[in-house]
Structure formats: structure tokens, C-alpha cells
Structure 1
Amino acid sequence: MKQTSFILIFLFISLVAFSQDSQISGQVTASGKGLAFASVSVLKTTEGATTDSLGIFNLNGLMKGNYILKASAIGYISVSKPISLTDSQTVVLDFNLMPDKSSLDEVVITGTMKEVNRLESPVPVEVYSPAFFRKNPTPSVFDALQNVNGVRPQLNCNVCNTGDIHINGLEGPYTMILIDGMPIVGGLSSVYGLSGIPNALIERVEIVKGPASSLYGSEAVGGLINIITRKPQNAPILSADIFTTSWQEVNTDIGFKLNAGKKALVLTGINYFKYGNRIDNNDDNFTDVTLQDRISIFQKWNFERKENRLFSVAARYNYEDRWGGDVTWNKSFRGGDERYGESIYTKRWELFGNYQLPVKEKMMLAFSFNDHDQNSVYGTTSFLARQKIAFSQLSWDKKIKKHDLLAGAALRYTYYDDNTTATAVGNGIINSAQKVWLPGIFIQDEIALATKHKILMGLRYDYNSVHGSILTPRFAYKWIINEKGIIRLNAGTGFRVVSLFTEEHAALTGARDVMVTEELKPEKSYNANLNFLKKIYFGNGNFIGFDASAWYTRFNNQIIPDYESDVTKIIYSNLDGFAVSRGISANVDFNLINGLKILAGGTLMDVFSKNEIKSRPVLTEKWSGTWAISYKIPKINIGLDYTGNIYGPMRLPKLSSSDPRSESSPVWSIQNIQLTFSGDKRYEIYGGIKNLLNWTPGKKDPFLIARSRDPFDKNVQYDTDGKVIATADNPYALTFDPSFVYAPNQGMRGFLGVRVNFR
């Protein structure tokens, strides 16, 4: 009897509980088609669902009451609908979303490896649109980043003008460069790979500051720069952007798209840059700016598949011929000791793509392959290098109630060979190409603790065929204070495997010999970053945005090249101690309805290494600032842009105590102004002045390039210990060295250009 009573009571309670639950189903559509992977959330609760490949969603377990359902998707205007539920009710509710072009710049991928709204990401990601870079038109992505706060393009050679990207004061090898999320620009190619990407095909640039190795692996230690190319369906039918300068630089960007059958769209971009004007304003007998002849061809295919599944393939070919040196040099002197020149031929091609597997779950296969062939001569020193990188990654994206999971496996193979000590074994007698396998697995879980609180936990395991197992955990927390304020806390670790070429370009100028005193170990870092984002909206349509971050990064096994022990050598070893990068950074964004827009930022940082003593690395500023001020006058279709940057003093790479050049750089600034006339939506005419202050480095120094009149050191005398002797011809006891460089050596110049777009 007791058992029967218990069963009846249990059934009654279950039926009552069941009777309180309702079911909501429906479809989210856009342009008459089902929208896959759209989000349907129940506001002020943690309930939600994701649409399938046909746009269908189902919500179960809602109790009696009044609710508001919100349907949203990347690139579409969100729609909310109220609904009132009674007991055990089944409701069909459909949503139709409209495209929202204004929201495209707010979509980010880099922080979590999946498309999310920038404000929804627990990882702070900075997004820069083509409109931002058009405020100061440049011939390459490398130059375009000069007005991004906390990011500095650094030239590493006064002769060939190659360089890398510093983020928060960290050297270029700590920055990972991606194209459409693919790690195809790294190692050898990081020096040259940022040139030749057609600006007309860039949809946006995403920047993450701080380690991201738990998602992207090696090299993502200081930060990430992800160049997102346009989708063919979003690109104009034909676009062109051509400009020239008073220094006789010419840059041409052309893009066009076409249909390849009924199910494929093809986007093609061509970039050509030419600079052949030999200028020697500082009278050192060397070209002030490297001469370049570069062409890049890019093509991207998007295929239409059933249920809107993704399949895109892209390829790029880049060829560059650059040289700098003696103003009387020509190719007949290449490799000889009559005229000094640094001549670099680069051939590079890339293939990369994304394929969504034909299964119900959201599974993506990403792949890339690139081949970089470089033939260089630095005076009489030849540098012949080949690098190939193959990459493949399978990822699974799954939402389960409060959990947003991402898991995957990746495999990276790197082949590197050159004719230097970097690939030499047996005391340099035998050359052995480096072949490194890097398989890895990763998982991250983004958990919605409550409406305003979200955490992200990630873990990656890699096995490097040279260095063994590497584990990189990651944690992030996001607190939505209110609709206008967000706090994000990120912490994690990073690692970087050494590539001697990228450590210091000066190793190849012929000025110094390379010495590796030990077997170099991978660098490891530990990072914490606190970010605060605030937007203030005014009733008249004006708003102010404020974005501030504080970071701390500590390195073990850091590789710091030693230039000071012996002026004829670069000595590499792991630091027997630790290194730190810490600081604060802030951006302020004013948008006023009268046409005035101001974006200004500043960074204050302390970067140092500590063994027995604390020392600051060369070419690292303590503070910097950037700004972009724009004003539009609609009545006459004129826009004005005033952009610039400013940098505090940095320690400079002097050769010795007798070197008369400055120990630190002055405060310096590059400023630009531009006027743009927009006749209609199809064309723009723009022009202005770059480097308004006509600032160039070294005006208070006796020279920038040490012994530019004797670049082969024919008149340098040495003592029995191999040290340079001071003579009448060489009073400072120096050898030829072009590494004393901290800023572009290009003065004021005018520019004029035109843009055309047909949609």
C-alpha cells in the first residue's frame, strides 16, 4: 500500500512538473533562406538555442510566464519578440533577420577562434576597418599599423629597410601574423610577408595583445595580428586604389569579382608597388629608402553548398625585388666588394582555405600551405633560404546549454633551410635543414555563469619534435557591468620556438658573426591582462568610447642577443634569469554628429630583463601615443584626416663606448594630413602630406650608418686579440654596421590618389 501511494504521489508530481513546461520552435531566416547557427536566447534567463543548418530551433523546459525571445546572428540586425506561455503550451515563432552592414566591424574571430560579436567576446580584441587605414594610405599592411596604439612597425636595417611588428614593447618574433586565421606568415617570412597584401581586399584587421598560444600555438606570445580578407559576396564588382607621392612612389590596388558558374564566386586582387628613386638627403652615400619593385596577386573562391555550409579557398603569389646601399650600385655589383648593396629577391606563394564538413555538427577543416624562397646578398655575404609551412586543423564548435565548446586538433610542419649557422651541424661543416613537426590538441569552454558573467577556460597540448611536450592553459572572465560597461580579465601562458633569422636581421648584414653558446630552449611566458570597456551615449546621438588595459608578462628562457661583449659578434643564449613586459594602455573614441571623430590612444610600459642586473632592451620605448582626427563637411563632400604618432626615448644599439652616436633616441613624431573629396559612392579623390614635421632620425648624430664610406672594412685595423684599433681613418674604432635605426628615414612628401568602386 505504501509503495502504491509513493508511486501515485511521484507520478502526480511528475505530471504537474511536466504540465508546467512548454515548447517553442521556429525558424530563423534571412533573405528567404534558413539561417544556420543563429542564436535564439530568452532574455533575463540563461536559456537559449542555436539554429541547425536549415535555421530551425527548439526551446524546451520553459515554465508558465511572460518572456522576450531574441534572435541574433553575425552581420544581421537582432530581432526581439514577446511571448506569453501557459501550461504545456507548444508555440511556433519565426524570425526574419535583415543584414546589418554597420555591425560588420564589430564581428571578431581571433580571440576565441569563432565568429562572435566583439562585445560578447571574453577576450579583448581590437578591430580596425579599411576606413581607419584609409585615413593615412600606405602601400603595405606593415606601414598601415603605425597608427595603432601599442603596435609599432620597427625597421631593423638602415639599408634594406626590412622590419617586424612590436606589440607592447616586445620584439617582432613574439608577434604572430595570420591571414584569415591561418598561420602562414611566420619565421623567415614575417620580415617580408606583410608586404604585398592588397589593401583593397582587406575587410578588417583584428589585434589581440598578449599570449594566445592555447589556441594558436607557437609564436603567439606577444600578440596576434589577424588580417581578415573580404568575402567575395561583400566585395564590389570592381575596385581600384592608385596613389603616388612626391618621392615617386607608386602603389596600385585593383580588385574585381566574377561568377564562376552558378555556385562559385571569385574575388581577385592585384597589388603593384614601385619605388626606384635614389635619394640620399643625409649625404652618407647610401640610399635613404630601399628601392622596391613588388607585385602580389591574390584570389579567393567561395563555393555555394547545401544548407549554407562554408567552403572557401584562397591563394596568393608575391614577388619582390628590393635593394638599398651605395647610390651608384647596380646589379652588376651584386655579391662583389666594389660597391656595397643589399639585394633581396623574394618569391612566395600561399594556399589556404576552410571547409565545413557535411555533418549536422559544426565542424570545420582549415588548411594552409606556403613556400617562401629568398635569394639575398648583403655586401659579399649571400643568404639563400627556403621555408615551407604546412598546416591543418579540425575544429568542433558545440553549444550545450550554458556551455559554448570549441575543441580541435592541429598539425603544423615547418621546413627551413639556409646557408648560415642556423642550419649548420658539426661545427658548420654539414648543412642540415630543420624539419619540425608540431601536432597539438586544444579545448576551450565558454561558460555563461549568469546573464552578466561569463568565463572561458582553455587548454592546449603540443608536441614539438625538437623540444618535446608543451602545455599552455588559458583563463578569461567577462563581467558585463551594464549595457555600456564591460570588464575582462585574461590570464595564460605562451611559448615560442626559436628561429635564429628572426631574432636579429643584423646577423645577415655581413657586419657581425653569429655565435650560439648553448642549445637554445623554447621561451615560456606567463601573462595577465585586465581590460575595461565603457561607452557613453548621449541623447543627441553623440557617444564616447573608452578602452583601457593593464598587462603583465613574465618570460623564462628568453633569448636576448648580446651585441656588447664583442662588437664583431652576435652571441645568442637563453637568459639566466627572467624578463618582464608590463604597462597600461588606453584608447578614447569620440563620435560626434557634427562630423567630428577622434580616436586617440596612449601606452605606458616598462620592459626589462634581469639576470644579475636589470637592463632595458634596445629599441623599446617607455611610452607612445597615436591619434586619428577626422572631420567631414557633407555640403561640399570633403573629409579631413589628421593622423600621427609619438614615441618616447628608447635605448639605441651603439657599437661600443667610443661610438659617438646617441645612447637614446629623442622624442619623435610622424604626422600626416589628408583631404578627401567624395563625388559620389563610386569614387574618391584624396591627397595630402606625409611627415608634416619633416622629421628624420639622427639629425644630431654625426652619422647613422657606421663607416658607410668603408662598408667592406678594408681600412679597419685590428690588434692581436681581434679588437678594432682607432686610427686617423677610423677615430672611433668602429666597423661597418647599419643596425643603428629606430625610425623611418623618409622626410616630408606629398601624395595624391584616387579610389573607384563599382557595386
Structure 2
Amino acid sequence: MNKHFSFLLLLALAFTTLRAQETWLRGKVVKWGSDEPLIAATVRIESSGKSVITGSAGGFRLSLGKVADSISATGLVLVVSAVGFETLKLPASVGEMLIRLQPSRREMDEVVVTGTMRAVQRSASPVPVEVYSPQFFRKNPTPTIFDALQLVNGIRPQLNCNVCNTGDIHINGLEGPYTMVLIDGMPIVSSLASVYGLQGIPNSLVERIEVVKGPASSLYGSEAIGGLINIITKHPRKAPALAIEYNGTSRREHNFDAGFKFRSGRKSQALTGLNYYNSTHRYDRNKDNFTDVTLQNRLSVFQKVNWNRKDNRAGAIAIRFITEDRWGGEMQWARKFRGGDSVYGEQISTNRAELIGNYQLPTTEKLLFSFSANTHSQRSAYGNIIFNASQHIGFGQLTWEKDAGEHHQLLAGIVGRYTWYDDNTIVTADTTGMHNLPEKILLPGIFLQDDISLGDHHQLLLGVRYDYDKRHGNIITPRLAWKWKLSAMDHLRFNLGTGFRVVNLFTEDHAALTGARKVEIDGELKPERSYNGNLNYTRKFTLDNGYINLEAAAWYTYFSNRILPDYETDPDKIIYANLDGYAESKGFSLNLEAAFLNNLRLTSGFTLQDVSVTEKGSGGKKTTRQQMLTEPWSGTWTISYSFGKSGWSLDYTGNIYGPMLLPLASSLDPRNPKSPVWSLQNLQLSHKGSNGIEWFGGVKNLLDFTPARNNPFIIARADDPFDKRVIRAPDGKVTATPDNPYALSFDPNYVFAPNQGRKIFIGFRYAWKGHE
């Protein structure tokens, strides 16, 4: 009997132990209508606030602790939310839960920081800010952010050379030097890095990209005339434990992205990113004996650390290293020909290091110190012209954010920037041209901004910035922004601002270094000054089966001085001079975004613009000409559709551009003086599996468009790149001969679109959220 009693006692103890073990809520969160897993959705117990984030397959596991009975989950309410989806409340249940979230009928009101340098709801910002997520750019996978921005209305990545494929970003018709590129709010990309800054940023580390069109000089300094692009990297806490992406093309291009996070200390998390791009196979589809695209080998490494500090104060530091080797030129070029005049090639070696960070001071007032530093070394050869340059920049900024009563939000800052620059051109030579004088510039400044609430419907932002430049004295850039909340669904914004920019010729305009044209600087170049106004209207529509967002904008920019390359006065020269007149940029844009419960999503945009220069001619007569390499109109679109629960989706993306003026090399040049209406269109099919791996593939440039279409050639005198057979008259002008019937010299600057036709791409991506 004792044996039986002991056995029963053991059974009872085991049963009690089992009953006292932890109880878990388990399940999966998917998209309504397709059952596609939702990554990074939040599942929270309403009463306790305990929460968990879904993993790469949409799954979650939430502990209820040690309870006596699993049915204690009864009565608990779960709150499930995800960006872009309606929040759902439902009763918890024991067993595997399947939770479906519907797409939001209204655009999520993201938190933005770029417009006012303060974290505010996007709808509450008096400055219009456009926000783009990595999911948006995945509709057309690209190896760089430079290429990805072609999907954004009003923004065009512009190639500046047919040989080495350097480029910049145009915003509303204004060239790259007028666009400030920030990483986590720090002005990292500028001057010597302006043509390479958007390349080599690992896509796996990007949280979002914020775009401000129009001047923001009162906050960010003199380079922000045309607009801002702020690349915001992920916080390690929000990043997946591991993210991998690879894609390759039929042109044997390979791009690999990887990111992973780890706990670097008891109160810190680290995020590491790696990007490698390789395109080293030579193609000459148009048979001009020049590579169609530049060959590149690039490696970028990124490391970011965030600290968990008391009272949730900010504390982060990040570093990035980039090394790249690129070249383009004649198909038989090899490194032994570098800098010589027997085989033409443009070879550029770049090494760059960046440091950015911020630290919120442990004070009762909100004081944030932000800093950055970068060093950039470029060693390059453009044919037989050697261009070597080095640059070091240090930047520091202390901001004070203050609630000054019920209606005022103050932001004040002290800023300083030091630039050391040296190259082997006349830019850093003394007046005799015999001695080298590296450029050393200290640019201190202060700014003040007041965000004023004028009741429930009106908001006024006033700002001013003061900088001192020893070369040009005092620089004052004021700013005004006004927002009228017409209703909860529509807003009207009006912005005024000024800009001031010092031109860095050889670091910003690649045309000054390539080709046979001679560079001529007419007089001492003065700073550029501008005045800008823009009007923005947004309207949201909620539908029974989705939502539609509309945004319309109009802008006008006036330059009292502007430095533009003159290709027309003398076909053998590029002339830079102060503007004896004025320049204007004006236009209108319309954006549409829509999402429907039938799994259809689309965006579209249209921009109409007029960018012109008016100068005084002989006798004081004014002449107006359109800006070279600027499209009068453009459009973009994305159309995406998910096929139910299958995991398959289709993306059709594209852009279209109106005709732009192109730089001809002589009056006899047979190439078209204007580009045709041209379009780049792409198709992608992707599949997300239950194992967390997403496969994608498709076709880029469906119409197989290249600039060579309907043109006899693209590069002038490609068979004589050193002008050895060019005959010149006593005045230096090129003479037409039987060997040179069009009186041309070598010129690779006739470029308006990528010189790469249709190609197939395929790839995969995988994200593992890790153990919660």
C-alpha cells in the first residue's frame, strides 16, 4: 500500500509542477487577404503592457508567466499593431493564434525630424517632408541609394560622364551641389564626396529616407538650397538580428548586403553592416570601343552603437569606411596605361572614413551635442590628366530644445564646421601657381527657430541662421513656414527661405576634369545667392476599400548669382563665370499614393518645371536660355499587387522624362541637340516563403532604351580620345577635315540617361528577427 501511495504522490507532484509551468501565447500575424507574414508587428497585452515583436515568419511567443492553469489567458485582450496597418484588439486564446491585420485606410502619421530638426508628427510639421521606407525602394532593387531615388517624383539621378559614370542628384531641376545629403542628420556628404556619397550605404541599415524639397539653409547651412535628403539608419533595437540580401544581373553585376546586431555591452547594442558591389566585366554594346558603363569594385563597412541611458536620453556613435576602385574607357585599357596618352581611361581610387554621433547632455534642459568627421582621399586619372585630392571635415553642433509656454517650441543651436582641402589644381595654388596652399576654412554659426501655435488650425515657424565665412563675411539666411490645417484630412503649407553657397568647382562638376574641353574661369567666382518660395497642399481620402493621398506643390527659386558651366559660347571650352543677370527655377508637382484592400497599391507623380538663365548681352539686351541637361517635365509610377495567400507579388515601376538640351561639341555636330522623350521601366516578381526567405527577379529597362538610339554616336571622337589627329586653326578652333568632318574634339559629356540596355536580375533577401 505504501508503494501505491508513493506512486500516487509522485503523480500529484508531477501534475502540480506541470500546472505551475509557464503558459505561452503563440501565434502568427499576417496581412489580411494574403496571409503574407508581417515582420516587426507588435503584440501587446492590454492590461499589463507586456509585448513582443513578430519574427521573420510573422510568428510570436508571449509568456504569461507561471500560472496554475493555462485557461488563465481567458479574459486577456491583445493589441496588435504594425506600421501601415489598422490596429486590432482581440481576446487572447490558448493555442496557435492566426491574426490578420488590414492595411490602414489612412497614411500612417510618421515621426519626421528633417524639416524642423525636431521629432514631430509628419502632419504637424510646417515644412513638408516626404518619407520613403526600404519597402518602397525594394519595388526596384538597386545597388545604391543613388539609383533607388529614380522612383521619387521630382528627383533625378543625373550621370555626368559617359566614361566613369559619376553623377549627382537633381531636385526640382537644380543640380547635385544644391542638394545636401545627410546621414542621421549629419552633413556627411558634400564637396569632394558629392559624386560618390550616396553609393556604398548598405540598404539593410536604412530605416527610412526623408526628403525636403526647397531651401533649409536656416537650419542646415549654405549647401541646402535645392533640398535635403536625410538617410536615417536603423536603431539596433529595431533592426533584425540578421539581414542578408544579394542580387545579380545578366550583365554580371553582383551586389551583396548584410547586417547584424549584437549586444555590445550591458546597456548598449551594436549594428554592423556590410555592402560589396562588383561589376568588372567589359561590355561595348554600341561598338565605340568604350565601356558602356564604368567598372566598379566597392566595399563599405558600417558600425553603429546605441546606449540605453537614463530618462531615455540619446547616445549613439557610428563609423563607416568606403573603399572603391572604378574605371571606364577604351576596351583595351589596363592599369599600365593610367595617366598616359596611348590608351584612354578614367580611373578613380577612393578611400573614405566617416564618424557620426550624438550625445544628450545629462541636464534638465534638452541639450543635444551632435558631431561628425570624415576624411576622403581620391587618386584619379582622366586620360593623361592626374587629379589627386584630399579632404578632412570636422563638424559639431549643440542644440537646445525648449517648450516656451503653451504656444512656442524653441530650437536654438551653435554650430561649427572646419574644412581642410588640398588638390593638385590651380584651386589650391598661390597667385604664382608655383606653391601649394591647402584650403583651410572655419565656418562658425548660430541659428534660432520658433515653432508657434496659432490656435487649433494655424502654425507659424520663424527661423534665422547666421554664419561667418572669412572669405565672404557675414551670411544671414532667414526662413518662414506657415501651416493651415483646413481639416483633419487636408493641410496647406507655405514656405519662404534664402540660400547662400560657395562653389567648389573641381570637386562638384566632373565635366571640368574630363574630355578635351579647356576650363576657363572668367573672373573671381562669387558665392551664389538664392530666394525661394513654395506652396504645398495635401489631402487624404478614406474609402470603403482603402485610401488615397494627394499632394500638390508649386515652387519658385530666384538666383541673384549662379555659377553654371557654359558649353555653348565656345565648343572647345567650359566657361565658368559669375552670372550677369539672374536665374530662375519654377514648377509644379503632383503626387498620388493609394492602397486598396484587394492587395493593390500604387504611387504616381508628375513634375512640370522651367529652369532658365537670363543674362545681359551686348547693348544691355537680355537673353534667356534654358538650363542644359534639365528636363521640362517628368513622371514616376509604382504599381504593386499581391496574389492572395500565395506569397507572390508583382511590381511594375518606371519613370519618363521630357526632352532636355544637350551639350554639342561644334556647330556641325550631328548628334541630336535635344534628348528624346525617354523612359526606364522595370518589372519584378517576388515570392515570400514560410521559411523567411524572399526571392525576387525581373527585368530592368524593359524598353531597352539607351542614349545611342537615333544618334550616330555618343562620345565625340571616341577613336581619337587624345585629339592626336585633330587639326586646329591659328585661333585654336577645330578645323573640319576628311578625317574629322564634324570639326569635333574628344568629349564624353553628352550624357542624359544610363548607357545600359535591358538586363535581367535575380536575388534573394532574408531577415531573422532573433529570439525575443
Q: TM-score, structure 2 length as denominator?
A: 0.85
Identify which of 105, 123, 126 aligns with 1:119: 123
Deviation at 1:682, TM superposition (A): 2.2
SS in 2 for 1:232: coil
Change (3 A) 1:127 1:105: farther
8 A Cα contact 2:373 2:392, kept in partner: yes
More deviation, 417-426/396-405: 417-426
Say whether residues 1:424 and 2:429 are aligned partners: yes
> Match for residue 531 of structure 1?
536
Distance in 2 between residues matched to 1:405 and 1:259, nearest whole Å: 36
Deviation at 1:254, TM superposition (A): 0.2
Say whether residues 1:558 and 2:568 are aligned partners: no
> Match for residue 76 of structure 2?
none
> Match for residue 455 of structure 2?
450
> Match for residue 420 of structure 2?
415
Say whether residues 1:261 and 2:249 are aligned partners: no
- Letter of the 1:222 counterpart: G
More deviation, 104-113/668-677: 104-113
Deviation at 1:292, TM superposition (A): 0.4
Distance in 1 between residues matched to 2:745 and 2:434, nearest whole Å: 27
> Match for residue 741 of structure 2?
731
Say whether residues 1:747 and 2:757 are aligned partners: yes
Deviation at 1:711, TM superposition (A): 0.4
| Percent pairwise identity | 58
More deviation, 416-425/443-452: 416-425
- Letter of the 1:281 counterpart: R
Identify which of 625, 641, 647 aligns with 2:635: 625
8 A Cα contact 2:515 2:749, kept in partner: no
8 A Cα contact 2:400 2:412, kept in partner: yes
Q: Deviation string for 1:31-75 (max 9, x for gaps)?
A: 689xxxxxxxxxxxxxxxxxxxxxxxxxxxxxxxxxxxxxxxx99
Distance in 1 between residues matched to 2:84 and 2:287, nearest whole Å: 57
> Match for residue 250 of structure 1?
254
Say whether residues 1:308 and 2:312 are aligned partners: yes
> Match for residue 727 of structure 2?
717
Say whether residues 1:651 and 2:661 are aligned partners: yes
Deviation at 1:656, TM superposition (A): 1.9
Distance in 2 between residues matched to 1:256 and 1:465, nearest whole Å: 45
Say whether residues 1:240 and 2:244 are aligned partners: yes
Say whether residues 1:437 and 2:447 are aligned partners: no
SS in 2 for 1:728: coil
> Match for residue 347 of structure 2?
343
Q: Deviation string for 1:443-483 (max 9, x for gaps)?
A: 00001000111000000001012111110000000011111
Deviation at 1:692, TM superposition (A): 0.4
More deviation, 729-738/502-511: 502-511
More deviation, 506-515/292-301: 506-515
Say whether residues 1:384 and 2:388 are aligned partners: yes
Q: List aligned pairs for 1:460-609, cutoff 5 A.
A: 460-538=465-543, 540-609=544-613
Distance in 2 between residues matched to 1:313 and 1:30, nearest whole Å: 34
8 A Cα contact 2:671 2:712, kept in partner: yes
Q: Deviation string for 1:143-199 (max 9, x for gaps)?
A: 000111000000000000000000000111111111111001001101011110000
Q: Deviation string for 1:541-594 (max 9, x for gaps)?
A: 411100010000000111112222223322211101110000000101111110
Q: Deviation string for 1:348-399 (max 9, x for gaps)?
A: 0000001000001111000000001000001100110111111000000111
Change (3 A) 1:484 1:76: closer
Distance in 1 between residues matched to 2:109 and 2:494, nearest whole Å: 23
SS in 2 for 1:430: coil
Distance in 1 between residues matched to 2:85 and 2:644, nearest whole Å: 27
Q: Deviation string for 1:685-729 (max 9, x for gaps)?
A: 000000000111131111100001100111011111111111111
> Match for residue 65 of structure 1?
none
More deviation, 564-573/457-466: 564-573
8 A Cα contact 1:75 1:107, kept in partner: no
> Match for residue 190 of structure 1?
194
Deviation at 1:301, TM superposition (A): 0.3
- Letter of the 2:436 counterpart: N
Q: List aligned pairs for 1:36-75, cutoff 5 A.
A: none
Give the unaligned 5+ runs of structure 1.
1-28, 34-73, 80-99
Figure out how many residues of one structure are paired with residues of the other and give that number.
670
Q: Deviation string for 1:212-241 (max 9, x for gaps)?
A: 100000210011111101110010000000
- Letter of the 1:328 counterpart: Q
Distance in 2 between residues matched to 1:32 and 1:519, nearest whole Å: 66
SS in 2 for 1:422: helix
Deviation at 1:275, TM superposition (A): 0.4
Q: TM-score, structure 1 length as denominator?
A: 0.86
> Match for residue 9 of structure 1?
none
- Letter of the 2:424 counterpart: N
More deviation, 303-312/389-398: 303-312
SS in 2 for 1:461: strand
Distance in 2 between residues matched to 1:537 and 1:103, nearest whole Å: 10
SS in 2 for 1:579: strand
Distance in 1 between residues matched to 2:711 and 2:564, nearest whole Å: 27
Q: Deviation string for 1:731-759 (max 9, x for gaps)?
A: 11111010000000010011110000000
SS in 1 for 2:486: strand
SS in 2 for 1:197: coil
Say whether residues 1:205 and 2:212 are aligned partners: no
Distance in 2 between residues matched to 1:103 and 1:304, nearest whole Å: 31
Q: Deviation string for 1:401-431 (max 9, x for gaps)?
A: 1101100010011111111122223153322
- Letter of the 2:477 counterpart: T
> Match for residue 700 of structure 2?
690
Deviation at 1:505, TM superposition (A): 0.8
Change (3 A) 1:165 1:77: closer
Change (3 A) 1:32 1:437: farther
Identify which of 149, 154, 157 aligns with 1:153: 157
Q: Which has the higher contact order (CA 8 A, sep 6+)?
A: 2
Q: Deviation string for 1:278-309 (max 9, x for gaps)?
A: 10000000000110000000000001111211
Deviation at 1:512, TM superposition (A): 2.3
Change (3 A) 1:556 1:751: same
Change (3 A) 1:285 1:30: farther
Distance in 2 between residues matched to 1:757 and 1:207, nearest whole Å: 27
Distance in 2 between residues matched to 1:469 and 1:656, nearest whole Å: 43
8 A Cα contact 2:195 2:508, kept in partner: no
C-alpha RMSD over aligned residues = 2.0
Distance in 2 between residues matched to 1:156 and 1:427, nearest whole Å: 32
